[in-house]
Structure 1
């Protein structure tokens, strides 16, 4: 529905503007209501990330005359420019606040798409915990893969010391990535608003351009207490690592800003003078879908065992709802074809019935090869329970066919984007380009679930194994204990397969409202276009 009148507007079918779609069914309305409930839960979790350290620390930060992390980001961006926030639910379900004390995302600065990393000093002084590190490393990976300038908005007390064992050794990758970005000709910019101590001092130290705010920025390897203990020397913050000292004496600061607003202005000037140029394909003129994006809310059933037609999703996210389907009669459980999103050509692979059979796997491998020949990015729309099992399917070669598809995905060199709409179980997650296969971007809907298999199947397998072990030992099988075990395992797997849990561990780049899918994909495709086209693919041996 649209508007507030309660009237259902007529809908046009794919490429048939004179054909009227019927109003939504009761089943569609039920699915829509369930999805809206999940979206409300998502909004509540996102609000926790926006809260940072809570109102007390927000007020204290403002009282010091400082801007919040998201306020800094907003002022850095071009007026009205979108900001695609990444991993906002990082650390969800852990001992650390949702958001992991850092804001990351892609935004437009002086007309240039940049990756932005902003420490949130309202959360334990912006200290980095294990999830902060993972989130930051993911942001730098995106900058490197897509050739996007990286802007760090720095105010951090360094590592969260109680968890240093999980940060110190892998944390060196952050500094390695900064040097690799620079070596690849991708600019790195550090705007330092407050503390940048210990290992954090290397963020400006390894950046191409450094701006420090007078009387606010403090950059040193060891603060006054550590210097006193280590050397016996007395020093204050300003003389040890103040912005003016670094601008006059050490040379670490390239620009000395008079205020936070001034630092952000200088940062924008730096980006403007980069004379940055995109090296990828330009977008063609974009045309909106014929079908309303609101219809995406009523497609995915609550019970993911019930199949749905992914064409209904495709028609609502691609330009003019035009989709040229490839091999529509062969391997019908996987829908493949060509379309455009916001003017960018894409090849789409979408699960139709959940299960992947041999024909589907062969069809996917051929389609991926064709996309690589034309250098067309691939979009995977996941709703899969995995590859089919059973005697007949093993005899027909499901292992070699599934391996062929996984081989094609793993060695494809065009950019991949993945959206998990529903189920993502077993090796189907791999064949449909899950996180382990390094898609450029991966987002999930609130309806998504992912695990090695469904909760009931996993518990059932454990039950069968336990029963066989008891029989082998000649012992009576504990039926009550088995029922309790099955219930416990099902509950655990269900909880650990939900999108908030998975997003909290950075197995995706964010959980999104289905209605935002087209916009998110458009922003990602535009960002991908900053990098040149990747070299041609070289595939491994396909076991025929």
Structure 2
């Protein structure tokens, strides 16, 4: 056994300062999330009057009681498009992985309490990400839909990518991924194709309006006069058109039917063969709050993080004496063997070689890889260049990109430049990627970016025979630094879908075990693909 020891002075002044700083960053994220929830619940009187259940409550009713649920991409679109303060973040969708009638599933729900659940451009991108997760992890999908379709203010940004979501639905059905939809209300135009492309459709009496053209558009286009019930009501679709297979009496009944469908899917949980008698870390997860320095320029030892998230704090380090800035080693997480790569600074030529070899070893024995980001990027300078940092760094990125083992990334602190690629950032397609609220992801540090542009601008002024303007150069440096700082934060990156969500550091181990079990189940499950998917007549 190789038990990690801790040098953290829990309760010290520095520890408490670090803890308070991280808690403040977490509180900022939670406050933004709460704004969206509060805005949704503000619509409760309107939903009550119509005899409907709020979207968040629908999700809660669908999920098995007291079962784990990992929410995905909850702050997508923060401060983008129509969102001004976070109250409309989330892309109009509530989504995550949880259990429905004992089945691990991807759950999505239109947040119809905000703008009728219409789809923003980032909502479409979120849907594409969710579909990718469902296909890769072989997760059945249940959608609680009530949406006016695309937000027409951004129709040009939604149209083409929206079509991709429909193509993905068709391909998932053909791949053998069951898709169940409960139509709780309006599903118009493009919104109607989502349930139309599902394998099972549940309509709700006196609530469902599933149609390509509503009464006003129909009158304008053809002159025909018809009611919404005649065009797309629940009884019409279950009794006449055959678009829906099941007729529910209300929201709760529709969710009950969805749960019954899951009971009969013959889709058994595949994780029962895992060893669940694993040991917890030897250090409390609460201590994770005080490890990262309040000043991001201060170094810290990532093995302090590792010790608090792996089974029994047992970590077999690989090439411990060869480059201390890149840390590689083997551990167990929830009883599952994994390889861990993390950083205590920039990635040197030696560190790149070490990590690439480690990836090959994990690939050889099919051990999932966990990347814990804390790097300023690849080492620069004469020594690094002469030792082949471009060559070795490129080979590390090549190893990450081509590894077939499952890959999970957690952005713990900084993740800059090509170091983000080497550590399996979003662009390298990890199975899942989450971030801590204090984390930063950018092409380079904000201060460095400001200085770079200042030096370049000053050089141009001198080359053209001008006397350098200190005031202009100061403004350029400061404005550039401020812009990059704003665009590197955890909130900015999660809004842009650069990760799958921001997590509480104390939940890191629980989230990772859940994700590893999700991946394990996908590896064990055999799908029954068909050429064109389920035909619904």
Name the TM tier (shorter chain): over 0.9
Determine the C-alpha separation between the residues in 2 that align with 1:146 and 1:468: 52
Residue 302 (structure 2) aligned to one of 294, 310, 328: 310
Determine the C-alpha separation between the residues in 2 that align with 1:312 and 1:21: 8
Per-residue deviation at 1:66? 0.9
Matched with 1:10 is: none
Alpha carbon RMSD of aligned pairs, Å?
A: 1.8
Matched, 1:88 2:80: no
Determine the C-alpha separation between the residues in 1 that align with 2:29 and 2:300: 23
Determine the C-alpha separation between the residues in 2 that align with 1:128 and 1:399: 42
Determine the C-alpha separation between the residues in 2 that align with 1:411 and 1:15: 31
SS in 2 for 1:492: helix
Matched, 1:472 2:468: no
Matched, 1:366 2:357: yes
Q: How many residues align?
A: 519
In structure 2, do the counterparts of structure 1 residues 322 and 72 end up closer, same or farther at CA, with 3 Å as the change threshold? same
- TM-score, normalisation: structure 2: 0.94
User: What aligned pairs does 1:241-320 form with structure 2 within 5 A after superposition?
Assistant: 241-277=232-268, 282-285=273-276, 286-320=278-312
SS in 2 for 1:294: helix
Matched with 2:533 is: none
Matched with 2:231 is: 240
Determine the C-alpha separation between the residues in 1 that align with 2:231 and 2:510: 47
1:105-133 residue CA offsets vs partner (Å, 9 max, x unmatched): 01101111100110011111111111211
User: What aligned pairs does 1:9-20 form with structure 2 within 5 A after superposition?
Assistant: 14=3
In structure 2, do the counterparts of structure 1 residues 15 and 131 end up closer, same or farther at CA, with 3 Å as the change threshold? closer
Matched with 2:314 is: 322
Matched with 2:57 is: 71
Matched with 1:189 is: 180
Determine the C-alpha separation between the residues in 2 that align with 1:533 and 1:258: 38
Matched, 1:494 2:485: yes
User: What aligned pairs does 1:522-541 form with structure 2 within 5 A after superposition?
Assistant: 522-532=513-523
Per-residue deviation at 1:249? 0.9
Matched with 2:504 is: 513
8 Å Cα contact 1:104/1:136 also seen in 2: no
Which runs of 5 or more structure 2 residues have no equivalent in the other structure?
A: 526-537
8 Å Cα contact 1:280/1:528 also seen in 2: no
8 Å Cα contact 2:108/2:142 also seen in 1: yes
Determine the C-alpha separation between the residues in 2 that align with 1:58 and 1:304: 42
Per-residue deviation at 1:100? 2.1
Determine the C-alpha separation between the residues in 1 that align with 2:328 and 2:272: 22
8 Å Cα contact 2:10/2:290 also seen in 1: no
Identify the range of structure 1 (452-461 vs 524-533) with the bigger mean alpha-carbon deviation: 524-533
1:169-193 residue CA offsets vs partner (Å, 9 max, x unmatched): 1111110111111111111111111
Determine the C-alpha separation between the residues in 2 that align with 1:383 and 1:520: 19
Determine the C-alpha separation between the residues in 1 that align with 2:142 and 2:267: 14
1:303-329 residue CA offsets vs partner (Å, 9 max, x unmatched): 222211111111111111111111111
Matched, 1:50 2:37: yes
Matched with 1:175 is: 166
1:437-457 residue CA offsets vs partner (Å, 9 max, x unmatched): 111111111110111100111
SS in 2 for 1:447: coil
8 Å Cα contact 2:104/2:269 also seen in 1: no
SS in 1 for 2:494: helix
Greater RCO structure (CA 8 Å; 6+ sep): 2
Matched, 1:336 2:328: yes
Which runs of 5 or more structure 1 residues have no equivalent in the other structure?
A: 1-12, 535-544
SS in 2 for 1:289: coil
Determine the C-alpha separation between the residues in 1 that align with 2:49 and 2:69: 27
Matched with 2:21 is: 34
SS in 2 for 1:316: coil
Matched, 1:345 2:332: no
Determine the C-alpha separation between the residues in 2 that align with 1:533 and 1:477: 65
Determine the C-alpha separation between the residues in 1 that align with 2:195 and 2:59: 18
8 Å Cα contact 2:355/2:396 also seen in 1: yes
- TM-score, normalisation: structure 1: 0.93
8 Å Cα contact 1:290/1:315 also seen in 2: yes
Per-residue deviation at 1:15? 6.3
Matched with 1:153 is: 144
8 Å Cα contact 1:91/1:98 also seen in 2: yes
Matched, 1:394 2:380: no
1:184-237 residue CA offsets vs partner (Å, 9 max, x unmatched): 111111111101110111111111111111111110111111111111111101
SS in 1 for 2:253: helix
Per-residue deviation at 1:21? 7.7
Determine the C-alpha separation between the residues in 2 that align with 1:27 and 1:244: 65
8 Å Cα contact 2:271/2:517 also seen in 1: no
Per-residue deviation at 1:20? 11
Matched with 2:534 is: none
Structure 1 segments of 4 or more deviating over 3 A?
13-16, 19-24, 277-282
8 Å Cα contact 2:102/2:269 also seen in 1: no
Residue 205 (structure 2) aligned to one of 200, 208, 214: 214
1:323-352 residue CA offsets vs partner (Å, 9 max, x unmatched): 111111112101111111122221100112
In structure 2, do the counterparts of structure 1 residues 128 and 20 end up closer, same or farther at CA, with 3 Å as the change threshold? closer
Per-residue deviation at 1:359? 0.8
8 Å Cα contact 1:378/1:417 also seen in 2: yes
Identify the range of structure 1 (478-487 vs 87-96) with the bigger mean alpha-carbon deviation: 87-96
